[in-house]
A and B are shown apart, each in its own frame.
Chain A
Amino acid sequence: GAVVSQHPSWVICKSGTSVKIECRSLDFQATTMFWYRQFPKQSLMLMATSNEGSKATYEQGVEKDKFLINHASLTLSTLTVTSAHPEDSSFYICSARGTGEPYFGPGTRLTVT
Chain B
Amino acid sequence: QQQVKQSPQSLIVQKGGIPIINCAYENTAFDYFPWYQQFPGKGPALLIAIRPDVSEKKEGRFTISFNKSAKQFSLHIMDSQPGDSATYFCAASKGGKLIFGQGTELSVKP
Contacts and interface: CB of A to CB of B under 8 A. Distances in A.
Report if A and B associate in a common complex: yes
Interface of A: 6, 32, 34, 42-46, 49, 91, 93, 95, 97, 101-107, 109
B62 interface: no
Contacts, number: 50
A49 B93 CA distance: 13
B96 A102 contact: yes
A18 B95 CA distance: 31
Contacts of A95: 96, 98
A97 B97 CA distance: 9
A104 B43 contact: yes
Nearest to B49: A101
B32 A101 contact: yes
A34 B43 contact: no
Interface in B8-53: 32, 34, 36, 41-46, 49
B78 to A, nearest CB: 23
A49 B103 contact: no
Given A93-B43, A107-B43, A34 B103 contact: no
A14 to B, nearest CB: 23
